[in-house]
């Protein structure tokens, strides 16, 4: 009788439906769905909020940023949020992203690389100014403008040199204005536009008569 009861109980357990997977997508304990929902509702995230959502928020942020199937605006927000969790890993990620998308022509890629420029500027690691200067080859003035802002944020000694170099060839007025603003913020005086040299007024010749 006892064995019969055990057999019936075992059959009942085998026939029971499996527990449904957790809602929100992703494996159990995966913080990405929560981070995605947070970014969708907050265009300016806070470091404390990200830390409350994940023990290592840079992981889901980088996963979202590189997911081509994710919403473009969400990816851009994830890249921008990386400045709140600086680390060598994040710095290397942003370096690679900028190198890969320096000459991007697609709108979403340009938005992502613009956010990367500012985020990397905040982190200001070794080699950052030269990496940001790669974006000066992009045809989009907005990309170049954010590269200028990123360079200013680095406060690196190489920043004024790169900014002046771009100022000499930059065709768009608002980008030139931003370069001059960043040079002033760095304690540098932006070179004034060349003015035509006025010829010295000749003194009237005195007559000997």
* pLDDT score recorded for residue 201: 41
* pLDDT score recorded for residue 91: 97
* pLDDT score recorded for residue 132: 98
pTM higher than 0.95 for the full model?
no
CB count within 10 Å of CB 33 equals 16
Q: How confident is the model at residue 116 (pLDDT cuts 50, 70, 90)?
A: very high
100-114, 159-173, 185-199 — which is least confidently predicted? 185-199
* pLDDT score recorded for residue 200: 43
How confident is the model over 178-199, as pLDDT tens digits?
Answer: 999 999 999 986 555 433 344 4
102-116, 170-184, 195-209 — which is least confidently predicted? 195-209
* pLDDT score recorded for residue 189: 67
């Amino acid at each position: 009788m006892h064995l019969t009861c055990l057999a019936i109980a075992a059959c009942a357990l085998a026939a029971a439906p499996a527990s449904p997977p957790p809602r929100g997508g992703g494996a159990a304990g995966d913080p990405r769905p929560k981070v995605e929902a947070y970014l969708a509702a907050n265009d300016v995230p806070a470091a404390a909020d990200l830390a409350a959502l994940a023990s290592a928020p840079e992981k889901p942020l980088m996963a979202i940023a590189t997911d081509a199937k994710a919403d473009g605006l969400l990816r851009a927000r994830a890249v921008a949020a990386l400045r709140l969790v600086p680390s060598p890993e994040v710095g290397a990620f942003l370096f690679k992203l900028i190198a890969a998308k320096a000459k991007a022509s697609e709108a979403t890629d340009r938005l992502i690389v613009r956010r990367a420029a500012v985020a990397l500027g905040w982190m200001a690691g070794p080699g950052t100014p030269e990496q940001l200067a790669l974006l000066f080859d992009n045809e989009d003035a907005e990309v170049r403008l954010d590269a200028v802002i990123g360079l200013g944020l680095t406060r690196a000694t190489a920043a004024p040199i790169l900014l002046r170099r771009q100022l000499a060839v930059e065709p768009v007025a608002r980008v030139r204005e931003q370069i001059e603003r960043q040079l002033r913020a760095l304690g540098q005086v932006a070179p004034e536009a060349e003015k035509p040299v006025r010829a010295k007024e000749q003194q009237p010749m005195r007559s000997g008569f």
